[in-house]
DNA sequence: AAGTTGACGACGA
DNA sequence: CTCGTCGCCAACT
């Protein structure tokens, strides 16, 4: 019941991320009911070649680091998109303290 | 069915 | 702070 929907849940979560905010793989995994499945989350996003529809560039690692192997155009492209949305990207790192998306309804 | 891979996370050096 | 290893889960071969 969740196995097949796993990726679907991840995609839905990524789409829920508001502009100018970022979310971590582990955070998404935990929200969809699969804590610790951060790897599986990243794997699912890798399959998503529809970056236009799913803002996978808003998804970063737990330490605020961008994807080391971003499919579309590499970390540089992802960084570019984040900056374009108002996210301050330092090298390959973003300020999770300021840009990490938190849903007030979830808390 | 079993083994390996992969856009990760945490811990140790 | 950076690099290396083990452990996590789901998907692929």
How confident is the model at residue A26, as a pLDDT? 95
Residue A23 is inside which H or E element, if any? strand A23-24
* C10 C1' closest Cα residue: A40
Q: Which nucleotides of C are covered by protein (CB under 7 A)?
A: 7-12
- Cα–chain-centroid distance for residue A86? 16
Neighbouring-strand partners of residue A65: A93
The pTM of the full predicted model, rounded to 2 decimals, is 0.91
Q: Which of A38, A56, A59, A96 is catalytic?
A: A56
The third-level CATH classification (topology) of the domain covering A6-99 is: Arc Repressor Mutant, subunit A (1.10.10)
CA atoms of A10 and A12, how far apart (whole Å): 5
**In terms of Cα–Cα distance, which of A47, A48, A57 is closest to A82?**
A57
Cα-Cα end-to-end distance for chain A: 25
At A85-102, the pLDDT tens digits run: 999 999 999 999 999 998
Q: Is residue A19 annotated as a catalytic residue, yes or no?
A: no
Do A43 and A52 touch, CB atoms closer than 8 A? no
Q: Is the confidence at residue A107, as pLDDT, over 80? A: no
At A17-37, the pLDDT tens digits run: 999 999 999 999 999 999 999
């Amino acid at each position: 019941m969740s196995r097949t929907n796993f990726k679907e849940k991840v995609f839905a979560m990524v789409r829920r991320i508001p502009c100018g905010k970022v979310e971590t793989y582990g955070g998404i995994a935990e929200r969809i009911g699969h804590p610790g499945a951060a790897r599986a989350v990243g794997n699912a996003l890798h399959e998503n070649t529809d970056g236009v529809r799913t803002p996978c560039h808003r998804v970063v690692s737990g330490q605020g680091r961008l994807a080391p192997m971003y499919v579309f155009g590499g970390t540089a492209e992802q960084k570019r998109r984040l900056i374009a949305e108002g996210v301050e990207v330092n090298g390959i790192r973003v300020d999770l303290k300021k840009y990490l998306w938190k849903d007030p309804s979830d808390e």
